[in-house]
Structure 1
Amino acid sequence: MPLSPIQEKVALAGCELTASTKSYTFQVDEEDDSDHILALSVVCLTDGAKDECNVVEVVGRNHENQEIAVPVANLKLSCQPLLSLDDFKLQPPVTFRLAAGSGPVHLAGWHRISKD
């Protein structure tokens, strides 16, 4: 019997974290049996950012299903306004949180959905 080709869709993904919107959760339908990968490419300060430390955390679950928060970027307008994360891959659900600073911080990447 021939193997069916893998069906794949890729879409751009992004969000903005600010003083009023400090977190964003990317999740998929629990009944969806597709494989989902979210890849984070760039984190950058956008227009209106102050010269302060802006720390972005990724909140997810470890292998023991415990919630963990990991800082992935510490941006400051005067010394590092942008960080390339080289398609840092995450499995949804995942939350991005502005742990320090007021932003605005823009996160950009892509979302791949694969189905056998």
Structure 2
Amino acid sequence: MSDATFRVMLRMQIKPGMEADFERVWKEVGGSVTSDPANRGQWLSRSTTADEDGVYYIISDWVDEPQFRRFETSDTHLSHRTKLHPYRSGGSMATMDIVASLSGAAA
């Protein structure tokens, strides 16, 4: 297995008052992402920045970009997105290749 990792970071603005439901549904449908053989893991984070109320970041790691793009256009992903869409009021996506990694003392 290659050590290369393709990372996807989604920034999602959630409609006010819907944060708890969004988190619950994200956990319920997350297996549709992590069960893909090319997925290395997925994380949901809530922003603590004062001007980012209701903002979440979803990070998912993939074996490579072509396999992520295959998943991105799959029926499985479309179904996943459809279940989360009612909670969103906006968002963006950034993609990147991890070029280096350092473990911290607490690891």
Interval containing the TM-score (normalised by the shorter chain): 0.3 to 0.5
Larger strand fraction of residues: 1
TM-score, normalised by the number of residues in structure 2: 0.37
TM-score, normalised by the number of residues in structure 1: 0.34
Query: Which has the greater radius of gyration?
Result: 1
